[in-house]
Amino acid sequence: MIATLTFFSGSAAAKSLRVANHVYYASFIDANGYSTKYQVVCFTGGGKAAYVNADGVDEHQQPLFNPDQQQQAKQLHSYLTSKKQRQEAAKAGRFTIKGNRLTINNGLLNNNSSAKIDQDGTGKKFIARYPSTTKQKDQTVIFQRAPQKSQYK
């Protein structure tokens, strides 16, 4: 499954988080602190992004894909090497940032739930925390910037 993102106020929201034109690894964490899902998030300069599902990240900070998910690996490669492919994929779906609030609509979380964003100030990591009242299976989404070798070519 490939989900896509769109920011509420275009590039202004992306710039405030310093995520524009960067690749992030997103870890979805349940209420018990366990990672349940992983995605590679490819942000565009206009505040949009495309997701690719992954199985995790290896010791070299590279995304892991099951052998039966090679289509996912190929899709990620096309996003990393082709700006046109990345922007085209980022057109569908919604990812809304309003101030320090985040709503993800990618099929993995309840669409109407809003999370609070915590930033580290460098743009290398930010965390979206959903309140327990939202009844999300995954209470936290951690976005960690991918290493330089995994950024856009």
95-121: pLDDT as tens digits: 666 667 777 777 787 666 788 888 877
Give the global pTM. Answer: 0.82
Neighbours of 61 (CB within 10 A): 13
Q: How many folded domains does the chain comprise? A: 1
Helix (H, G, I), strand (E, B), or coil: what is residue 83?
Answer: helix
Q: Which domain holds residue 68?
A: 4-150
Strands 56-57 and 35-43, sheet pairing: unpaired
| Integer Rg of the chain from CA | 14
Closest CA to 50 of 98, 91, 15, 10: 91
124 Cα distance to chain centroid:
13
73-89: pLDDT as tens digits: 999 999 999 999 988 88
